């Protein structure tokens, strides 16, 4: 699958390509070491807004949590694109993502929430988006978001 039209594929998902300003944090949104890019945990941030806030199973439905995870994955692609000077054809493979889910006690559908991020990466990057994954429950996340996703990506 040619990656020259990744922005076209992205727009077809119904999401808007992220435009995120780097925050003044004591860490970077992306760090490249050799042929590996590490993407810091991304939250469902859309422009200047947080698209979803709350706990899954309380104020956030399973479908909303999947959508929040997809937005997190979109933000991963945004920072990856910036790290690669806009050229996602340099992606060799998404190696691993971790999906953190802020959920109520007793919630167990973490994998379904994680599918929101996984499916978006596959849709945009094709087989290069296939990855190992962990999806885990958390008692809370920054800004009370329902989902946070980080990634390790091999590039050339």
Q: Chain-wide mean pLDDT for the chain? A: 93
As a whole number, mean pLDDT of residues 65-89 equals 95
**Chosen CATH of 3-13+36-155 out of 3.30.1330.40, 3.30.1490.20, 1.10.10.10, 3.30.70.1400:** 3.30.1330.40
**pLDDT value at residue 8:** 76
Q: Is the pTM of this model over 0.85?
A: yes
**pLDDT value at residue 138:** 97
Would you list the domain boundaries of the chain?
3-13+36-155
Specify the residue for token string 């810091």: 40
β-pairing, 91-102 with 132-138?
parallel
Q: Which residues contact 71 (CB under 8 A, 6 or more apart)?
A: 15, 44, 45, 46, 51, 52
Task: Say whether pLDDT at 22 is over 80.
Answer: no
**pLDDT value at residue 154:** 98
**pLDDT value at residue 91:** 97
Long-range contacts of 45-49 (CB under 8 A, 24+ apart): 45/18, 45/20, 45/71, 45/75, 46/16, 46/18, 46/71, 47/18, 47/19, 47/20
């Amino acid at each position: 699958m040619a990656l020259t039209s990744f922005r076209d594929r992205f727009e077809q998902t119904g999401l808007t390509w992220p435009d995120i300003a780097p925050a003044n944090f004591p860490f970077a949104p992306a760090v490249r070491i050799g042929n590996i890019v590490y993407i810091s945990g991304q939250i469902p941030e859309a422009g200047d807004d947080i698209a979803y806030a709350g706990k899954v199973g309380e104020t956030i439905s399973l479908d909303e949590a999947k959508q929040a995870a997809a937005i997190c994955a979109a933000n991963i692609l945004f920072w990856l694109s910036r790290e690669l000077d806009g050229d996602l054809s340099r992606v060799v493979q998404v190696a691993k993502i971790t999906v953190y889910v802020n959920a109520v006690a007793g919630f167990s559908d973490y994998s379904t929430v994680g599918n929101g991020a996984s499916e978006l990466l596959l849709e945009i990057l094709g087989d290069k988006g296939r990855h190992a994954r962990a999806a885990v429950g958390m008692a809370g996340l920054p800004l009370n978001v329902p989902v946070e996703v980080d990634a390790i990506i091999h590039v050339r």
